[in-house]
Amino acid sequence: MAILLAVADPAVDLLAVTTVAGNQTVDKCTVNARRVLSLAGASGIPVARGADRPLVRRLRIADDVHGKTGLDGPLFDDEPSVPESPYSAQELLVDVLRTTPATIVATGALTNIARLLSDEPGLAANITEIVWMGGSTDRGNIAPLAEANAYVDPEAADLVVQSGVPFTMCGLNVTHRALVTADVLARFEQLGTPLARVCIEWMTFFASTYRELFGFESPPLHDPVAVARVIDPAIVGCVDANLVIETQGEWTTGATVVDLDGYTGRPPNAQVAVALDQAAFWDRIVAAVSALS
């Protein structure tokens, strides 16, 4: 859904998509990205395979949430028409950033970006901003205080946050307000298109797993919140705060420690999402899917 929004919204010029292990293996995530771009008719967007594991840890995938394909719901038998780029994610990021200042929207572990900043520090100046769907100012979803995208590779998240590149965190505290209610599903039903039907199947599959695991009556739609922040900052309200990533805690590894009240005296190093205009958010997504249908 985040990719569909980025493809179709007129405020975004989507230059490339890279994948990373986390929701599933990087092989499956790469197929999924190609499939979504194929459904969107976005054949000109390159898709490059990224890191297949975290920087230093063993990979933990979230197949209990996202299913055996990483994008369960509708059944697809055909091969995606959008091909995989011959370049790696690292090579594609370097190629884009050498010529074009760009914002990076990250909706998974930050492994690819951490490697880019470590290997090509000179390109940091061409990253306008990194907007991350990850972390939380309060609860986690894979551990008591850790959100999954932070937990998978906290060392990568720590490196990126400390890099000095402008950084925005859209965490669970806000994405849990982007709920796929019955009224939202009805708006997609009213579109009456094959793509809208696929979107409904994705969201209803996610609804069933979120209900079983977390007790949500309506599931949150996490990743498009980060894209919406880029489209119109007024949709996702943020505050300046100091952010650190816990990498050593026995019970808190992967926690995103946000000093909203200035307890530590450390200067702000991130913008942290704290509010969501739900009506505007869903209007942009429904409009995007309608435009692609």
Catalytic residue positions?
222
What CA–CA distance (Å, rounded) separates 87 from 93?
A: 9
Phi, psi of 131 (to 5 degrees): -110, 115
3-state SS, residue 288: helix
Task: Enumerate the H helices of the chain as residue ranges.
Answer: 2-8, 26-40, 63-66, 89-99, 111-119, 148-152, 154-161, 172-175, 182-191, 194-214, 224-231, 278-292
Query: Cβ(104)–Cβ(113) under 8 Å?
Result: yes
H-run or E-run covering 264 = none
Q: Give, rounded to a whole angstrom, the gap between the first and last alpha carbons of the chain.
A: 13
